[in-house]
Amino acid sequence: MARGKRGLMAAAVTVVCAVTVLAAPGMALAAPAPTPTPSTTAGSAPATNEELEAVRKQLDTLYREAASATDAYNAAEEKAQRQSAEIVALAKRIVEGKEKLTELKRRAGAAAAAQYRTGGLPPEAHLMLSDNPGEFLEGSGRVRQGERATKHLLAELTRTQQDLEQYARDASAQWKKLEAGRKAKAAAQKKIEQRIAAAEKLESQLEKEERKRLAELEERAAYAAQTAWLGSGILDELDGTATEQGTKAVKFATEQIGKPYEWGAEGPKTYDCSGLTSQAWAAAGSAIPRTSQEQWKQLQRVGIEDMRPGDLIIYFGDASHVGMYVGDGAMVHAPRPGRAITIAGAGSMPILGVVRPQTD
């Protein structure tokens, strides 16, 4: 489908504007504006490299926004699992508490019935009516013990009732959190799908030859970033040796090379970026946070010059992407929708920092 420069740029700008509107407060449910089909003027010139570079940057923005939303989706999913488990635990406590309350009420009723059978007379009257004062006094001691036991029983019954009320409040709060998480997850999913659809539609405006040139531009940008990173002399300082666990994590991650990226996926056939790293370390025997943002927050941070194979490299200011360092200035990662797990330069994207899943 032939098309001129203006048509391509108009399509790109329309897509970016559409997703910008969708991101605005109060507009989350708006439908994306249709991207116009580029003009098909006969004999129009192919897009220039400058125009394709602008498209590349716009695609990068869209896919990064999708990656950030994927992290939000994964975080909401993780919270929902924890909240569901807490609700189940609270439900079990409520059942056990009700059973205990029933038993306490039965025992309290039995105690009340026993007191009723004594006629409710004061101790002095029982002493006067007794044929054996000594036996009565011994029995009085047992009565006092029974009274103390009854008080303890009533106190325990009150505590159990209070516990049940607290469990019910906790369960209600967890249900509210679960519902809020469900909405956050749905909103994140909608954003992911919108960004990916917008990016795919933008790419579809390109002809085959232009898509090939776009891929070359992507490679050049990554190569330039990696070259600049290596030019800083950072590799001269990297001499870390992988631990046994780190070696296992790297082995798992590199064995997934060629498998497709899929947002929210944790294998075994597809992965997103943090799904790959979390599963690689699970295979190595260490449970780590599911999302790249939580990996950045919770794991031990180390200097770039101190990283070793198995460490995780966190990218971009919002920690929306993660790869695993494999040595020699390279990392393995699940790049984005439409791409497969691959080896890339560790410095091919802006590095936020490095974290270590295991402590020394």
Indicate which residues carry an active-site annotation.
Answer: 273, 321, 333
| Cβ–Cβ under 8 Å, residues 58 and 19 | no
C-alpha span between 234 and 340 (Å, rounded) = 27
C-alpha span between 335 and 60 (Å, rounded) = 11
| Cβ–Cβ under 8 Å, residues 63 and 337 | yes
Angle separating helix axes 5-23 and 49-117, nearest 10 degrees: 20
CA-CA distances (angstroms) from residue 131 to 70, 125, 212, 318?
85, 12, 112, 88
DSSP 241: P
Q: Which two tokens stand for residue 357?
A: 């899943």
| Cβ–Cβ under 8 Å, residues 90 and 47 | no
- In single-letter form, the type of residue at position 297 comes to K
CA atoms 291, 15, 200, 6: torsion sign:
negative
Q: Which two tokens stand for residue 312?
A: 């995780």
Q: What are phi and psi of 78, to 5 degrees?
A: -65, -45
C-alpha span between 51 and 43 (Å, rounded) = 18
Q: What are phi and psi of 332, to 5 degrees?
A: -110, 135
DSSP letter string, 263-326: TT-BSSS-B-HHHHHHHHHHHTT----SSHHHHHHHSEEE-GGG--TT-EEEETTTT-EEEEEE
| Cβ–Cβ under 8 Å, residues 87 and 175 | yes
Q: Where are the alpha helices (DSSP H) in 205-261?
A: 208-231, 234-237, 244-255
